[in-house]
Amino acid sequence: MSFRFLARSARPLSQAVESRVPFSFRAVQQGRAVVAVRNYSATPETGAKENDVAAENAEKAAEGAKDDPTLKELEAKKKEVADVTDKWKRQIAEYRNLQEQTKREVRAAKDFALQSFSRDLLDSIDNLDRALSVVPKEKLDGSNKDLLDLHSGLKMTETILMSTLKKHGLERFDPSAESDKFDPNMHEATFQTPQPDKQDGTVFFCQSKGFTLNGRVIRPAKVGVVRNS
């Protein structure tokens, strides 16, 4: 008999504990589980409803903000400030452009104020240059002291005159001195002739030297140009 008692007492401990738990406690646990499952299954629907409500509230708040006179006035002021700022920036840009244009005009007026006066001097300069060029070099060997002194004085006068004119922007150029290529912007071709030892378009003779005033040609050089073809 003691053996059967030991066999019965050897049942698993969990079964023994479960058999001793009151029925009402187990029912409560099962009920809580069912409620938890129901609540979990109902959570997405509740969240969707809450989102719809939040969206409706946001729309109502936006409609209320549109009808708010304070916000309307604030938006109007913002637009007014933007318009005034844009006009102010445009006026500043126009004023700066006017300043730059005025500077260019003043500079141009200053650079070319002597243009008419310079043109009037060109004939005198040409005559002085011709007077120096007509004296042969072999006559300047010192045998005729008076002629040598006269030529030296004219040469010195020309040098000082051209140096003074250069300070004011007037410069003379001779394209035949270095056999420059013909440039229609600076040269005026008076004739063309073949020169076997030179390339086509080369300036080989200068009939009248050219002049520039502050980089602008006021008289092109009259030249002879090579044309072999």
Tens of pLDDT, residues 122-173: 999 999 999 998 888 888 887 888 898 999 999 999 999 999 999 989 999 9
Query: Does residue 60 carry a pLDDT above 60?
Result: yes
Query: Does residue 99 carry a pLDDT above 90?
Result: yes
Regarding beta strands 221-226 and 203-208, do their DSSP bridges make them parallel or antiparallel, or are they unpaired?
Answer: antiparallel
> Other CB atoms closer than 10 Å to residue 183's CB: what's the count?
15
In terms of CATH, what superfamily is 110-226? Answer: Head domain of nucleotide exchange factor GrpE (2.30.22.10)
Per-residue pLDDT of 149-159, as tens digits, reads: 999 999 999 99
pLDDT of residue 140: 85
| Token pair in block for residue 187 | 């040269």
CB 169 within 8 A of CB 114: yes
pTM above 0.95, yes or no: no
End-to-end CA distance of the chain: 146
What average pLDDT does the structure give for the chain? 79
Query: Does residue 36 carry a pLDDT above 50?
Result: no
Length of the chain (residues): 229
pLDDT of residue 85: 92
Contacts of residue 50, defined as CB under 8 A and 6 or more positions apart, other chains included, come to none
Res. 67 pLDDT band, cuts 50 70 90: low
